[in-house]
Structure 1
């Protein structure tokens, strides 16, 4: 390489370096801002996560403290003073309150509490389904079998965590209305389902035998 070529290359490199420094000086603050945003966002996520955990722990402590009272009416009153702070917390508190109301033989009040959660669009779907399921169980003596069946069929939709439990209730309604063959067939379908739990399998097997049906040898 000649001296001229070497000189030109050195000059070109200096020009490039000067341009780089100029760009950093002019736009370097953008990079700093991006770094600050990334670090700030991560810190805010950690702070929010810690806040949510602290709120959940506080809610749990408040509910446990409310349940330490001996009288059911006092437990219900104490639960009514707990501030949930979130949609999920509201659902959990309502489910617990409804359970205490049912234990205190306040079925109408429990059904009303559950109905409010089941109809609350801000509550996660799983809590709404649980509330609707428990409400239907409480209303087994006050609602027509056809109405309860329609409601349980809605809970037996594909993908629902309560699907098999709802199917079990539909089969029991079929027994209640005298359609024993349909009930046995539905119970057997539950037994054959891959998602059936041990407890549900035992209950369904006992009902099938009691109805005079046959269990699959497998």
Structure 2
């Protein structure tokens, strides 16, 4: 390579460097903004998480302190004074209604409002329906209670099996013991029914004179004698 060619290459390289530096000087701030945005976004996200965790802990502590109050009226007052919104408000409404010594009519109204609140998770809304039916008892027409519970017996609904159990008890209330036993036995065989519910159903079925089917051991497993 001649000295002239080498000189041309050096000049060309210098021009490229100058263009690159000029580009950095012109647009380098964009990268800085992006970095600041990423760092700032991460910091904001962490702050929000910490804020929510602190809020949740404060709510839980306040609820626990209120539930430890022995006097029913003071307990209800303490629960009502806890600031809450969204899902926390739903939890408070359910806790207020769970207090048997509280204001029954007020609890029923709160549960009805919660069950109709489309902004709340379906789980809380369905729990409110079941609790309202249970709390109202004979003060609510049996047909109305059955209609409310039947609306929850839909595949995929979070409280489907609990609603089916409550419907079986309504059959008992009507004196329809054979139908109630049939419903309970079917629910006992439901794979989605929790273990605690199945144990509870077994006790009721036996008490009503029914027979719980024996558990079938999985293939390859010998049943224990017993």
TM-score by length of 1: 0.87
**Are 2:63 and 1:91 equivalent residues in the alignment?**
no
User: Structure 1 residues 32, 206: CA separation in 2 closer, same or farther (over 3 Å shift)?
Assistant: same
Q: Distance in 2 between matches of 1:128 and 1:91?
A: 8
Query: Displacement of 1:6 after TM fit?
Result: 5.0
Q: Distance in 2 between matches of 1:52 and 1:159?
A: 29
Q: Deviation per CA, 1:62-108: give whole Å up to 9, x if none.
A: 22333333210111122222212x312211222222223x234x322
Aligned to 2:76: 76
Q: Unmatched 5+ residue regions in structure 1?
A: none
Aligned to 1:114: 111
Aligned to 1:165: 162
* 1:87/1:124 contact within 8 Å kept: no
Written as runs of structure 1 = structure 2, the 5 A alignment for 1:118-129 is 118-129=115-126
**Are 2:188 and 1:191 equivalent residues in the alignment?**
yes
Aligned to 1:51: 51
Query: Displacement of 1:157 after TM fit?
Result: 2.1
Q: Unmatched 5+ residue regions in structure 2?
A: 216-226
**Are 2:38 and 1:33 equivalent residues in the alignment?**
no
Indicate the larger mover: 183-192 or 20-29: 183-192
Aligned to 1:210: 207
TM-score by length of 2: 0.84
Q: Which SS does the other structure have where 2:137 is aligned?
A: coil
Written as runs of structure 1 = structure 2, the 5 A alignment for 1:1-12 is 6-12=6-12
Indicate the larger mover: 156-165 or 172-181: 172-181
Query: Displacement of 1:45 after TM fit?
Result: 0.8
Q: Which SS does the other structure have where 2:138 is aligned?
A: coil
Query: Displacement of 1:153 after TM fit?
Result: 1.9
Q: Distance in 2 between matches of 1:181 and 1:5?
A: 105
* 1:97/1:110 contact within 8 Å kept: yes
Q: Deviation per CA, 1:160-184: give whole Å up to 9, x if none.
A: 3312111111112223234444332
* 2:93/2:107 contact within 8 Å kept: no
Query: Displacement of 1:208 after TM fit?
Result: 2.3
Which residue among 124, 137, 142 is the counterpart of 1:140?
137
